[in-house]
Amino acid sequence: MAEHNDNNAADVVLYEVRGEVALVTMNRPEYHNAQNSQMTYALDAAFRRACDDDEVKVIVLRGTGKHFSAGHDIGTPGRDVHKTFDRASLWYDHTNKPGGEFLYAREQEVYLGMCRRWRDMPKPTIAMVQGACIAGGLMLAWVCDLIVASEDAYFADPVVRMGIPGVEYFAHVHELNPRIAKEFLFLGERMPAARAYQMGMLNRVVARESLEQETLDIAGRIAQMPRLGLQLSKQAVNNAEDLMGKRATMDMVFGLHHFAHAHNELVSGDRLGGYDAKAMASSQRAKGGA
Quote the pLDDT of residue 289.
46
| Per-residue DSSP letter, 64 | S
Q: How confident is the model at residue 253 (pLDDT cuts 50, 70, 90)?
A: very high
Alpha-carbon gap, residue 145 to 136, rounded angstroms: 17
Nearest to 139 by CA among 286, 34, 248, 66: 34
pLDDT, tens only, 146-169: 999 999 999 999 999 999 999 999
Question: What is the homologous superfamily of the domain 13-286 according to CATH?
Answer: 2-enoyl-CoA Hydratase; Chain A, domain 1 (3.90.226.10)
- pLDDT at position 62, please? 98
What percentage of the chain reaches a pLDDT higher than 90? 84
Residue partners of 221: CB distance under 8 A and separation at least 6: none
> For the CA atoms of 101, 156, 238, 124, what is the dihedral angle to 10 degrees?
110
Mean pLDDT of 77-100: 91
Nearest to 70 by CA among 135, 127, 6, 115: 135
Mean pLDDT of the chain: 92
pLDDT the model gives residue 4: 43
pLDDT of residue 237: 98
Other CB atoms within 10 A of residue 23 CB: 23
Largest CA distance in the chain: 57
Instruction: Read off the pLDDT of each residue in 271-285 and give the average, rounded to a whole number.
Output: 70
Query: What b/e string do you get for 171-181 counting C-beta neighbours within 10 Å, with b at 16 or more?
Result: bbbbbbeeebb
| Continuous H helices in 108-245 | 114-119, 136-142, 172-175, 178-187, 193-198, 211-222, 227-243
Give the pLDDT band of residue 75 (cuts 50, 70, 90): confident
- Judged against a pLDDT cut of 70, whether residue 290 lies above it is answered with no
Q: Mean pLDDT throughout 49-54?
A: 98
Question: Which amino acid belongs to residue 7?
Answer: N
pLDDT in tens, 105-130: 999 999 999 999 999 999 999 999 99
Q: CA angle, corner 254, sides to 147 and 180, nearest 5?
A: 50
Average pLDDT, stretch 74-97?
A: 91
Rounded Cα gap, residues 33 and 197, in angstroms: 23
User: Dihedral sign, CA of 226, 230, 233, 239?
Assistant: negative
Q: State the Cα–Cα distance between residues 126 and 219, nearest whole angstrom.
A: 8
CA 28, 144, 257 angle in degrees (round to 5)? 75
Model-level pTM?
0.91
Q: How far apart are CA 125 and CA 111, in angstroms?
A: 18
